[in-house]
Structure 1
């Protein structure tokens, strides 16, 4: 079975996220990866990004139970500018490797963002 890797903020989980995951589940094994930003092992949150990973994980589990896997591998470590420019920065390549840790052949990524999706295809 193909693995669908859903990379998203999910902050909070919305009806649109639920619909996307439900659609992905129809023909794929789904791994949901809520993005995290860490500074010295502490998660960085803000007014526009209020919920930490554990709360977002619980939101996803409350809707999907164990029918999807939830992974913390979509994590950026401060200083975040190290990931720029994408495709050239060694840190962006290490992020790709981190995201794919434990993922076997036969996968695709989905973000819902066309520009981000294009960048992921280039990797």
Structure 2
């Protein structure tokens, strides 16, 4: 059995994500999709960069793929996030690898559209396949959502599946909440972490 591992923000799920997952389904017996999660104890930390919680993103994915993919929260960082640094030297970062591979039997590969991320996945022996980066990014769609919440004309609905559009509308209060807030994000070695929980 070959398992494809897809680690991504998926915040929100876009047409590009759907395209990637459909490709992975063709090349693997099982696709394990892991939206990144940041936790402090049992509480998930959300921010302007990571507005939708895991359950909402899981709902987005299952609205499209049903049970044809496995969606888990195994790609989870636990506060304090700085303990995952530096990569490779931090025992916590190797624990994350074990979480990612939880339940995986037989051969596997991971997917990324980012060369730098592919290099990191290779160092962690997650057998990356580096695809071509999609022109549509979740970050751009997210910004369109925030612009829309602030009353500007945007075309965000064209960039997400219909079922995801519905889920976003059902959770529009989240978009409104973060739309005019500062993005409290820490960037380290190209990775983004919420400032809350970085050094607690």
Which interval holds the TM-score relative to the shorter structure? over 0.9
Deviation at 1:115, TM superposition (A): 1.2
Q: Output the CA distance in 2 between the equivalents of 1:37 and 1:10.
A: 13
More contact order relative to length (CA 8 Å, sep ≥ 6): 1
Q: What pairs with 1:5-16 in structure 2 (closer than 5 Å)?
A: 5-16=5-16
**Deviation string for 1:23-74 (max 9, x for gaps)?**
1101211110000000121101012211000000000000101110111100
In structure 2, stretches of 5+ residues that fail to align are 125-200
Deviation at 1:116, TM superposition (A): 1.5
Q: Output the CA distance in 2 between the equivalents of 1:81 and 1:40.
A: 15
Q: Output the CA distance in 2 between the equivalents of 1:113 and 1:39.
A: 28
TM-score (norm 2): 0.60
In structure 1, stretches of 5+ residues that fail to align are none
CA RMSD of aligned residues (A): 0.9
Tell me whether 1:71 sits opposite 2:72 in the alignment. yes
Q: 1:45 aligns to what?
A: 46
Runs of 4+ with >4 A deviation: none
Q: Output the CA distance in 1 between the equivalents of 2:63 and 2:44.
A: 22
Q: Secondary structure at the match of 1:26?
A: helix
Q: Output the CA distance in 1 between the equivalents of 2:112 and 2:70.
A: 16
Q: 2:58 aligns to what?
A: 57
